[in-house]
Structure 1
Amino acid sequence: MKQLITARLLVREWEVDDAAAALAIYGVEKVARWLTPAMGEVADEASMRLVLQAWVEDQPNMLPPRGRWAIERRDTGEVIGGLGIRLLPPYEEDLELSWQLRPEAWGHGYAVEAGEALVRWAFTQEIDELFAVARPSNTRAIATAKRLGMAWVGETDKYYNLRLQVFRLRPSDLSDH
């Protein structure tokens, strides 16, 4: 998947030159505190460039629907967030949908708009479910998972050695709007 277009957004592959915009997402404590331990907060633009370089290099080798994508506003061209689909540790059987937005973009429905486009595409790639995980205190992520139509399936410490709320989405859960 090279890109997806929604009413307000473009979901596209990351580029190394997105480092400054990506740092405004992954280098901000308000966002980074919710990232998985493997990611953590990115310290500076040079470090962000290295992260993006790794993502760009990995992308062609990932079996669809896995990958990482930038969320860009169509009206301004500004990168406001990121989306990912990857295998959840430790067993690498379950596919996780994740989203991160810069704090200034919170509360505008961008995560749901981009997420819906991505999951609709993902379900054309011979998968039958996606999961999202969130710390119990991450009320924004939990609300976004619910707005995406994901069903709460319980709490576990199976993933990332953290106590997490688990949500699941199947193709039959998608609304027709």
Structure 2
Amino acid sequence: MHVLLETDRLTLRAFTEADTDDLLALDNDPAVTRFINGGRPTSREEIRTGPLPRLLHHYPGLGTRGYWAAQERESGAFLGWFAFRPLLEQSPDEVELGYRLRQEAWGRGYATEGSRALIRKGFTSLGVHRVTANTMTVNTASRRVMEKCGLTFLRHYTEDWPDVIEGSEHGDVEYELTRAAWERGVGAERRRGDVQ
């Protein structure tokens, strides 16, 4: 099992085909997929032909995968996944941050903890220059996570999505964090004594 990183409470590891059942359960919770597809159920075949190949994909620009299974470090329980994938497959310059966690993991700081660890790894050892994240305008919980991780609002936009879901009439938002801004923030935290 290839582990990308560990935090105090999380292990982010490479996906395998053995994760199909956990992915199926995750994507069949209507609350989890509310802002993805309106909570529509997903079949095992859809998981095998859609998300799983994407989650197993290796990105040459990063020299690693772009999606990571999130496990609770102590128990090994599957919590969901994090995305940290380059916008251009051959370049680590810009990556998209994302996360999808089981309802049981919500409100416990896992999304923020995993995202911050990925951002740190991206800026310190993967050659990333800019992190971007997108969500529906009405997804306030996800927007809070982005802000806690240091990303700032960049723009509001609308696109024509294949399925109209509740809240999509308000459009989407994009947030960003550059390496320079992150380094300024880390420097300020060190001066305050917030980080080692």
Shorter-chain TM range is 0.7 to 0.9
Alignment correspondent of 1:34 = 35
> Match for 1:166: what amino acid?
E
- 1:85–1:95: 8 Å Cα contact kept in structure 2? yes
Alignment correspondent of 2:192 = none
SS in 1 for 2:75: coil
Identity of aligned residues (%): 24
> Could you tell me how far apart the structure 2 residues matched to 1:72 and 1:128 are?
27
Distance 1:145 1:56, change over 3 A: closer
Instruction: State the TM-score, normalized to the length of structure 1.
Output: 0.81
> Could you tell me how far apart the structure 2 residues matched to 1:73 and 1:140 are?
21
How many Å apart are 1:144 and its aligned residue? 0.6
Alignment correspondent of 2:174 = 166
How many Å apart are 1:45 and its aligned residue? 3.6
Instruction: State the TM-score, normalized to the length of structure 2.
Output: 0.74
**Structure 1 segments unaligned to the other structure (5+ residues):** none
Alignment correspondent of 1:127 = 128
Alignment correspondent of 2:96 = 96
Q: Which has the higher contact order (CA 8 A, sep 6+)?
A: 1
SS in 2 for 1:95: strand
Alignment correspondent of 1:5 = 6
Aligned residues: 172
Alignment correspondent of 2:165 = none
1:68 is aligned to 2:76 = no
> Match for 2:176: what amino acid?
R
Alignment correspondent of 1:136 = 137
> Could you tell me how far apart the structure 2 residues matched to 1:113 and 1:57 are?
23
> Could you tell me how far apart the structure 2 residues matched to 1:137 and 1:56 are?
26
SS in 2 for 1:14: coil
Alignment correspondent of 1:105 = 105
How many Å apart are 1:160 and its aligned residue? 6.1
1:86 is aligned to 2:85 = yes
Structure with bigger gyration radius = 2
- Aligned-residue Cα RMSD (Å) equals 3.1
**Structure 2 segments unaligned to the other structure (5+ residues):** 163-167, 190-194
